[in-house]
C-alpha cells in the first residue's frame, strides 16, 4: 500500500482527466460510463465520510469505526440486486431457507458468465491529521488504476482490484478522492474483490496540515486465510490507509528538519545531514518498497513451496534484474515465512528494532560488536526511525554497514534492513545521489495474533545468487542454502525474544 503514496508531478485536474480517458480507449461509451460511475461514487463517498451514527458504529474490540450494513443498504444500495437474487433462487427451485439474509454484511457479485456469488462486505472508516496540504495529498493518489492490496506475509493471498479513481474540489478547503470498481464495465472472472465507493475526504486545517477522513469499502469473495491468521480486515481497512499516508507525509516533513551538521564514525565522512539525510531517507524508502513488493503474494511472481519435508510454510521465489540500476543485477532469491509467537507484538518489535540486538539474531553479525552511526527519527514518532549501524571488523572479515528502518502502522510493526558497502555509504554521506546504489530489502513484519499476548512474525530475506543465470532455474543447493538461512535465523530469534 505504501507504493501507492507517490508524489504527482502534474496538475490535479489534468491527472484526473487523464485517468478517466486512459481506460476508455476501447469505446467512447466506456468513457461516459466511467465518468457517471465515478461521479456517483464520489457523491456516495462524500456522504459516508461526513455521516456519523447510525451509518457508522465504533467497534470496541477492533478499535475502529465499522459500517452498519443494514443502514447502508437502506440508504445507498439499489433494490434490484436483491430482487434479482430472490428471483434467481425461486426460478431454480430453491426454498425460502436458501434466500440470503440481506441485513447481514453479505453482498452479491455478478461474474462475467452471469452467475452470482455471495461476498463478504468489509467497510471501515478512520480519521487522521497529515503534515501536508490538500493539493499535495491529492497528487499522491491520482496515478493509480489497477492495484494489489497485501498482507505482509507470503501465506496470505493479495487482493487484485480494477477501479477508477477521480477527484473533485468540493470547496476552497476541501477535496475528495474517490475509487470505484470497474468490473461491471471490464469483467474479469479472476478478480475476487470489488471496490465499493472508497477513498478520502481531505480538509485544510491550517497551513501545512490537513485532516483526512478515509472510507474503505470492499466486497470480498472467497475470503479464506491461513489458520494462523485472523481474518485480515486489519490489513485492508481504513486505518492502514491513514497510517501509511501519515507516515509518508511525516517522511517529507522529516527531510526538512535535518539541516544541521553532525559527526559520524571515522569510517564515514563528516558531512551536513541536510543533503546526505535526504539521500539516505530516499534510499531507505526504496529499500522498504523492495521488501514490501517481494514479501507478499502476487500474481506476477508466485511463491513456490520448498521441496523439503516439514517446510511447507517456508516459500521461495526468484526474479531477474537486467536494467534497473537500483537493484543488484542478476537473479535474486526471496525466501519468506510466517510463524506464531506467544509474545506481544510490541515486545517482538522492540527487540528487533534495537540495533544492538542484531548480533543476537543475524547470522552474519552473530556475537560481533555493533555500533550505531546515524539515527534519523520521524517528526511524529521516535520509534519510526532510519539508522545506519556498523558491524565492526575482525581479523577474519571486513566491516559491514547496514541501513535499517523501523516503523509501525495499524497493520503491524516493521523492521527492514539491507547491507550497504562501506564505500557506497560514504558516497551517500558525502551528500551524493543514492539512486544508483543497489539495494535489496530484507526484514520482519510483526502482525497481530488472535490475542493481545500473541503475534505473527513474518521473516523475509532477499539475497543474490551469483550461481543462477535464469530465474526459472533453482538448483537443490540454492534451495538448501536458503532453507538453512531461514531455519537458523528462526532458531536464534525465538529464544532471544522469549528470554
319, 365: one domain: yes
Residue 256 lies in a domain: no
246, 331: one domain: no
State which of 228, 250, 272 marks the end of a domain: 250
pLDDT at 299: 62
State which of 198, 231, 250 marks the end of a domain: 250
pLDDT at 201: 97
106, 227: one domain: yes
* Percent of the chain whose predicted confidence (pLDDT) is above 70: 77
243, 279: one domain: no
Instruction: Give me the CATH number covering residue 299.
Output: 3.30.530.20
Residue 428 lies in a domain: yes
* Residues 6+ away with beta carbon under 8 Å from 268: 373, 425, 426, 429
CA distance 201 to 191: 27
232, 278: one domain: no
268, 188: one domain: no
Strands (E), 222-323: 304-305, 315-321
Q: Is the peptide bond before 54 cis (omega within 30 degrees of 0)?
A: yes
Helices 345-353 and 476-498 meet at what angle, rounded to 10?
A: 110
Model confidence pTM above 0.85: no
Residue 493, domain extent: 261-498
Helices (H), 92-200: 134-141
280, 236: one domain: no
Helices (H) and strands (E) in the chain, counts: 12, 19
147, 279: one domain: no
Instruction: Give me the CATH number covering residue 142.
Output: 3.30.530
CB atoms under 10 Å from CB of 362, counted, come to 20
Residue 336 lies in a domain: yes
Residue 120 grid coordinates? 463478504
193, 217: one domain: yes
The string of pLDDT tens digits covering residues 222-277 is 666 777 776 655 678 898 889 888 888 877 766 665 544 444 445 444 434 566 77
Q: Are β-strands 330-341 and 315-321 bridged in parallel, bridged antiparallel, or unpaired?
A: antiparallel
State which of 204, 226, 250 marks the end of a domain: 250
> Given a cut of 70, is residue 342 above it in pLDDT?
yes
The string of pLDDT tens digits covering residues 177-235 is 999 988 777 777 767 788 899 999 999 998 889 999 999 998 887 666 777 776 655 67
Residue 171 lies in a domain: yes
222, 349: one domain: no
Residue 204 lies in a domain: yes
The string of pLDDT tens digits covering residues 121-177 is 889 999 999 988 898 888 888 765 767 778 888 888 777 777 888 899 999 999 999
Residue 255 lies in a domain: no
172, 221: one domain: yes
352, 329: one domain: yes
Amino acid at each position: 500500500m505504501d507504493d501507492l503514496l507517490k508524489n504527482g508531478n502534474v496538475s490535479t485536474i489534468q491527472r484526473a482527466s487523464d485517468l478517466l480517458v486512459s481506460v476508455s480507449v476501447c469505446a467512447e461509451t466506456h468513457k461516459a460510463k466511467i465518468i457517471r460511475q465515478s461521479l456517483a461514487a464520489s457523491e456516495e463517498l462524500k456522504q459516508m465520510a461526513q455521516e456519523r451514527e447510525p451509518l457508522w458504529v465504533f467497534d470496541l474490540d477492533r478499535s475502529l469505526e465499522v459500517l452498519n450494513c443494514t443502514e447502508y443498504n437502506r440508504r445507498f444500495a439499489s433494490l434490484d440486486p436483491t430482487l434479482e437474487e430472490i428471483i434467481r433462487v425461486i426460478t431454480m427451485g430453491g426454498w425460502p431457507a436458501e434466500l440470503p439474509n440481506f441485513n447481514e454484511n453479505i453482498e452479491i457479485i455478478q461474474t462475467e458468465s452471469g452467475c452470482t456469488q455471495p461476498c463478504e462486505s468489509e467497510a471501515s472508516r478512520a480519521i487522521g491529521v497529515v503534515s501536508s496540504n490538500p493539493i499535495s495529498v491529492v497528487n499522491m493518489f491520482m496515478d493509480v488504476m489497477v492495484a494489489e492490496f497485501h498482507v505482509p506475509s507470503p501465506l496470505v493471498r493479495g487482493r487484485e482490484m480494477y477501479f477508477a479513481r477521480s477527484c473533485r474540489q468540493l470547496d476552497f478547503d476541501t477535496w475528495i478522492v474517490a475509487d470505484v470498481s470497474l468490473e461491471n464495465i471490464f469483467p474479469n472472472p479472476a478478480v475476487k474483490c470489488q471496490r465499493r465507493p472508497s477513498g478520502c475526504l481531505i480538509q485544510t486545517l491550517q497551513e501545512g496540515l490537513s485532516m483526512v477522513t478515509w472510507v474503505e469499502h470492499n466486497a470480498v469473495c472467497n475470503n479464506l486465510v491461513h489458520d494462523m491468521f485472523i481474518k485480515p480486515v486489519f490489513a485492508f481497512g481504513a486505518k492502514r490507509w491513514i497510517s501509511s499516508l501519515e507516515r509518508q507525509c511525516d517522511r517529507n516533513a522529516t527531510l526538512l528538519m535535518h539541516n544541521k551538521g553532525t559527526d559520524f564514525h571515522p569510517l564515514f565522512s563528516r558531512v551536513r545531514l541536510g543533503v546526505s539525510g535526504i539521500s539516505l531517507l530516499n534510499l531507505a524508502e526504496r529499500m522498504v518498497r523492495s521488501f514490501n513488493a517481494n514479501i507478499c503474494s502476487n500474481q506476477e511472481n508466485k511463491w513456490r513451496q520448498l521441496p523439503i519435508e516439514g517446510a511447507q510454510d517456508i516459500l521461495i521465489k526468484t526474479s531477474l534484474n537486467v536494467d534497473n540500476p537500483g537493484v543488484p543485477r542478476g537473479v535474486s532469491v526471496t525466501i519468506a515465512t510466517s510463524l506464531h509467537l506467544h509474545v506481544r507484538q510490541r515486545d517482538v518489535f522492540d527487540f528487533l528494532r534495537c540495533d544492538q540486538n542484531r548480533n543476537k539474531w543475524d547470522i552474519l553479525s552473530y556475537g560481533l560488536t555493533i555500533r550505531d552511526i546515524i539515527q534519523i527519527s520521524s517528526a511524529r514518532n521516535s520509534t519510526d526511525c532510519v539508522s545506519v549501524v556498523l558491524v565492526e571488523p575482525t581479523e577474519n572479515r571486513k566491516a559491514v554497514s547496514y541501513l535499517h528502518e523501523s516503523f509501525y502502522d495499524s497493520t503491524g510493526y516493521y523492521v527492514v534492513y539491507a547491507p550497504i558497502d562501506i564505500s557506497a555509504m560514504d558516497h551517500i554521506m558525502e551528500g551524493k545521489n543514492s539512486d544508483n546504489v543497489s539495494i535489496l530489502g530484507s526484514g520482519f513484519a510483526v502482525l497481530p495474533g488472535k490475542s493481545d499476548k500473541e503475534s505473527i512474525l513474518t521473516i523475509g530475506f532477499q539475497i543474490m545468487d551469483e550461481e543462477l543465470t535464469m530465474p526459472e532455474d533453482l538448483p537443490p543447493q540454492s534451495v538448501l542454502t536458503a532453507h538453512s538461512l531461514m531455519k537458523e535465523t528462526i532458531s536464534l530469534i525465538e529464544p532471544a525474544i522469549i528470554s
